Structure 1
């Protein structure tokens, strides 16, 4: 689908370590320690119960390795790759107790992130033949933003800002508090670094006209506009600024919105409403 460079394991390990600590609790894996004889070795497979796009396999591997560095992890479907129902995504060999202890955390990450990547791919497919790019938002699970946004990349989408410090995004409440569109853009021109990109939200065409007249923005977020209004906005803009459509972006509407000529379509549902793909670990 959309192979992306992996984050260094060093960045991802704290997320996985925290999840393992949560799952192991105070005394570790009591069930496995009780019923699995020491030295029992097994081979296990992560198997897809439904088709999708892979993401989170790097985190799954980290989970197994943190529990037991001697485990052998053989990846068959890399992050960003498509897989079919019943396909073997990875094989793990070694101590049965270690595999069982890491199983749930590994599958939780992989299932959740495969769900995001797969949902993203469905949205991206609706933009074919247009210049529109599907982007995510900051509506992510607290603590998991970095991996959820990477899952969007694995699904063929693009990332919006990662945090409040990445760029200036002026929303309606900023405009209200600052005294209007012209006032807020004048403040940006006076104070913002030349290295920072600026996006401003509008929900009416007269506001877009004010932005174009005043200057100071790189991108305009067209919030909750219907498709005819989006087409008018594209014509009024005349390729001067990048345009991002946002608000109520359901899958069934994406092809119509992409056809209006906007550059970006931001979709909070990529992360906040994605399901978890059904993956299993079979011995």
Structure 2
């Protein structure tokens, strides 16, 4: 499972802290007024719901940046579970120990990021479980929260899903508007191949004729959009029937997919089901940071 890029994580956490604390170094007027900087303690990161966790890897970065802003020691983070783990309500996910000012200033930022990622991972795991044994995989889309795409796609991986393209730069996806602008599927595919010969080309189709036209144009990855199950099965059969001459064509079902249809759609023989809702409609997984009793001050 590809890790988060450290440079991206550092930038994202810095932006999140600026949003919460004001420009660096920022301030938390409540915590800094009520808790001496010498006060040390421990806090448990706890799951308040059953689910799959993701984003726990952000915690050390958050507490490290907060400690640097406050000029205090960096708390230790003892992870009790790893990203991708199934957890139950009440499970302790990590124990953070250090200056209480740092713990409380960091609390909301680390919860926002980890709860969001864990919600995506939990939702994705439901799809991955529904498709288990079918041979099909669940894919994400670019329907992500601006600025959090790397985290949300990481969370999809934690939940057992697969990332599609990361952006507009790494895969060409010829959709209906591109076909209209270029004049035809063939013209669009040829234009991409001429300008960007190094990229994979994917073509959207919503009819059997469009799918076969795309394959004839050289596309080896088709997005079968908003097709009823029967039509989807017909398209899969037609495309698979020509693979002795065309070579393997990857097929993705997309549009209006629901969990209760997942296995039915997978049974048509598609390779993938892409689900925008993994990232645009997943509720958070409720997590909490609870300060343990016995917090002490080192002030003399």
* TM-score class, shorter: over 0.9
Question: Any residues of structure 2 matched to 1:233-248 within 5 Å, and which?
Answer: 233-238=235-240, 239=243, 240-248=248-256
Return the offset for 1:8: 4.0
1:11 is matched with 8
SS of 2:181's partner is helix
* Match in the other structure for 2:212: 209
Contact 1:117 1:155 in 2 (8 A): yes
Calculate the TM-score normalised by the size of structure 1.
0.95
Alignment root-mean-square deviation, CA: 1.3
Residues 106-145 of structure 1 mapped to structure 2, 5 A cutoff: 106-145=110-149
Q: Does 1:40 align with 2:43?
A: no
- Per the alignment, residue 63 of structure 1 pairs with 62
Structure 2 residue 138 is the aligned partner of structure 1 residue 154: no
Name the SS for the 2:166 alignment partner. Answer: coil
1:218 corresponds to: 220
Question: Would you identify which runs of 4 or more consecutive aligned residues in structure 1 move more than 3 Å?
Answer: 188-192
* DSSP-derived class of the 1:126 partner: helix
Correspondence for 2:49: 50
The residue that corresponds to 1:259 in the other structure is: 267
Q: Does structure 2 retain, via aligned residues, the 8 Å contact 1:60–1:105? A: no
Q: CA deviation at 1:226?
A: 0.7
1:91 corresponds, among 73, 92, 95, to 95
Task: Write the distance in 2 (CA, Å) between the matches of 1:186 and 1:196.
Answer: 12
**Cα shift at 1:257:** 0.8
1:29–1:189: structure 2 CA closer, same or farther, 3 Å change rule?
Answer: closer
Gaps of 5+ in 1: none
Match of 2:79 in 1: 75
Distance 2:211 2:153 in 1: 29
Unaligned runs of 5+ in 2: 68-72, 292-300
| TM-score of the aligned structures, taking structure 2 as reference length | 0.89
Where 1:117 maps in the other structure, the secondary structure is helix
Q: Which has the larger radius of gyration?
A: 2
